[in-house]
Amino acid sequence: MPSVVVPRDTVKNGKPAPDSFLRAAELLGFAPARCLVVEDAPPGSPGRAPPAAPSSG
C-alpha cells in the first residue's frame, strides 16, 4: 500500500492535470522538482494492486 493516497475528489483537477501528483509530493514532504512520477493507468482507472511478477523457479 502506498504511504499516501490522493483520491480524485480531494483535488480540483484530476488526471492528466498535475494536481494529484503535486498533492502527493506535498504530503510526502518533497519538493515536486525532486519527484519522479511513473503512471501506468489511464485516467479514471479504479485503484488496484499491480499483478504479481512471475516467479523464476
Is the confidence at residue 56, as pLDDT, over 70? no
Is this structure's pTM higher than 0.85?
no
Is the confidence at residue 24, as pLDDT, over 90? yes
Residue 13: predicted pLDDT: 92
Q: Residue 23 and residue 14: Cα distance in Å, rounded? A: 11
Is the confidence at residue 29, as pLDDT, over 90? yes
- Tallying the residues shown for the chain, one arrives at 57
pLDDT tens per residue, range 3-22: 888 988 999 998 778 999 99
Q: What is the mean pLDDT of the chain?
A: 81
